[in-house]
Amino acid sequence: MQDAAGELLHGRVGEKLVNHYSFYAAFQSDEEFRIVADGRPLGTLPVVQVLTAGQRILFGGRTWRVEQVDEANKVIYVARTSGGVPPLFSGGTGRIHTRVRQRMREILEGTAVPPFLDDVARRFLAEARQNYAGRNLRESIVVDYGREVQVLTWLGDAANEAIACLLLRRGYTAAASGPGVEVSKGRHSTGDVLDTLIDAGLDERPPLHLLLADVTNLQREKWDWALPDELLRLTYVSSSLCLDEALEWVRSLSRSVSSSQ
């Protein structure tokens, strides 16, 4: 509103905003969502990646299936689930760059032991290398858990989230998970999942309104709440997704399958 002298004044909503301690903060902290199961609040969880119904999250040492996301009120409605591998998405962790994952893989495929590791860390490294070799992860890109399959990309979180979005728009429930993407197979097979990824690499670059049509929790920066949906999607892709890297990986998957046939 404006007074008689022409000075602009805050309204009720404006006063509430500017008088809050967070108004002058330079950085935005991760949004915390309340977790609710059967009408009973379980606690809160900072969420740093996109959310969709059907995803599994780890909370309180248990695995939960996301039933509904109320983004306006910051509530995630969940139900107990069992089976499959516990998801790595449990909140409170930073985002990982592709180079870090590539370095992880180099260490797993190598034999050198970093001199700064203590006895426990050396044992963990030896176990990790043993499992990596035992599952033939140097050649294989999938780990099948039955109802779920993890597609190992060894890309960073931004690229893995983009690949998950490519699968979401094709009817799968998928989420970035560690060095890859976890996909619920449903009635499909592991081969169907890979075929879908190959098709995604052959298709044209998807428009943003389709790529992010079914995802929530896109607000990352302090004033993202004030952006219209189209600009919010564009901002999220620019800051949190690496679509070019994701498309390059799925296209390389298509080329590798074609060359092996």
Question: What ranges do the domains of the chain cover?
Answer: 32-94+141-260
Strand, helix or coil for residue 148: strand
Q: Which token pair is 27?
A: 């950085």
pLDDT at 14 over 80: no
Lowest mean pLDDT among 25-39, 56-70, 114-128: 25-39
Angle between helices 243-260 and 190-202 (to 10 degrees): 110
What pLDDT is recorded for position 30? 60
CB-count burial class (<10 Å; 0-12, 13-18, 19+) for 101: buried
Summarised one tens digit per residue, pLDDT across range 169-219 is 898 989 888 899 999 888 899 999 999 999 998 888 888 777 887 777 787
CB 53: neighbour CB atoms within 10 A?
Answer: 14
Instruction: Name which of 223, 234, 250, 232 is nearest 27 in CA terms.
Output: 223
Section 145-155 average pLDDT: 91
Distance CA 221, CA 114 (A): 38
Calculate what percentage of the chain has a pLDDT beyond 70: 85
CA-only gyration radius of the chain, Å: 21
Distance CA 78, CA 194 (A): 28
**More reliable by pLDDT, 52 or 154:** 154
**More reliable by pLDDT, 3 or 168:** 168
What pLDDT is recorded for position 88? 47
Q: Residue 154: left if φ>0, alpha if ψ -120 to 50, beta else—which one? A: left
Angle CA(219)–CA(225)–CA(17) in degrees, nearest 5? 130
pLDDT at 223 over 50: yes
Summarised one tens digit per residue, pLDDT across range 19-52 is 765 666 555 556 678 899 988 999 888 776 677 7
Section 155-160 average pLDDT: 94
Strand, helix or coil for residue 74: coil
Distance CA 63, CA 127 (A): 25
Section 94-101 average pLDDT: 89
- Residues 246-255, buried b or exposed e (16+ Cβ, 10 A)? bbebbeebbe
User: What is the model's pTM?
Assistant: 0.72
**Strands 56-59, 40-46: pairing kind:** unpaired
Paired strand residues for 149 = 144, 183
- How many residues can be counted in the chain? 261
What pLDDT is recorded for position 65? 84
Which segments of 77-118 does DSSP mark as H helices, in order? 98-109
